[in-house]
Amino acid sequence: MATSEPRGTENEEVRAESPTAPVTSPVTSPEQYIKHPLQNRWALWYFKNDKSKSWTENLRLISKFDTVEDFWALYNHIQQPSKLGFGCDYCLFKDGIKPMWEDDRNKLGGRWLMTLSKQQRHNDLDRYWMETVCVFLFSFCGWLTVLCITSYCAYVLQLLCLIGESFDEASEDVCGAVVNVRPKGDKIAIWTGNCQNRDAIMTIGQQYKERLSIPSKTLIGYQSHDDTSSKSGSTTKNMYSV
């Protein structure tokens, strides 16, 4: 489990302001220095569309993390999806799974795909991506822990109230999530490992839709990577929808 040294700054400040305070070693709660582990180690990838390079060459690993604190530091350090240029992606995948159809853990799989309108870039994109990421990362970690760590942000507070349950056993099927920033409309997808695992896929799709508060009349579809990678037109048929 990842740990870090206790940060002394807060105690030192207290001592400086109140000279009569005892100078014996402060009692420090383990909560203040033990990082909170996630169930999985995750890798964040960035794709920048440089036409002089192949698709694979344009894909870069940004960082890996396995604690809430390291995730949060990374998240606060990078641009929100709505600030990325057209053609760029973020991919958040379990460590060991590359964010591409060809990876052994993806090649029989598919994705729940949410296509956003152009207006939603300003209204919904960053929030949906944040919620997607949180649904993954914190489903096992206990939302109260996350709430304590991130309570400085009212928006995240509200968001984290939605979290706390996992996709249950279906979480095993989740490989990662992708956000594509595109002029024709942005996309957010959850990739799963086997498009024949109907029950797990439906559980993930239904819970995901619920957590993002997507209206029931708005359908989202699941497509196999096989169909997506071999499509000839602009659309791919849905294997499932919720």
Interacting residues toward ligand MGP by CB under 6 A: 55, 100-102, 180, 182
Residue 37 near residue 141, CB atoms below 8 Å: yes
Q: Which one, 5 or 57, has the nearer CB to ligand MGP?
A: 57
User: Running DSSP on this structure, what letter comes out for residue 172?
Assistant: G
Q: Which one, 99 or 205, has the nearer CB to ligand MGP?
A: 99
Residue 182: CB minimum distance to ligand MGP, A: 5
**Amino acid found at 92:** L
Question: Which residue minimizes CB distance to ligand MGP?
Answer: 100
Residue 111: CB minimum distance to ligand MGP, A: 9
Q: Which one, 159 or 177, has the nearer CB to ligand MGP?
A: 177
For residue 216, how many other CB atoms are within 10 A of its CB? Answer: 8
Terminal-to-terminal C-alpha distance of the chain: 38
User: Running DSSP on this structure, what letter comes out for residue 24?
Assistant: S
Residue 198: CB minimum distance to ligand MGP, A: 23
Residue 101: CB minimum distance to ligand MGP, A: 4
Q: Which one, 100 or 220, has the nearer CB to ligand MGP?
A: 100
Between CA 197 and CA 109 the distance in angstroms is 9
Residue 64 belongs to what H/E stretch? strand 59-67
Residue 188 belongs to what H/E stretch? strand 187-192
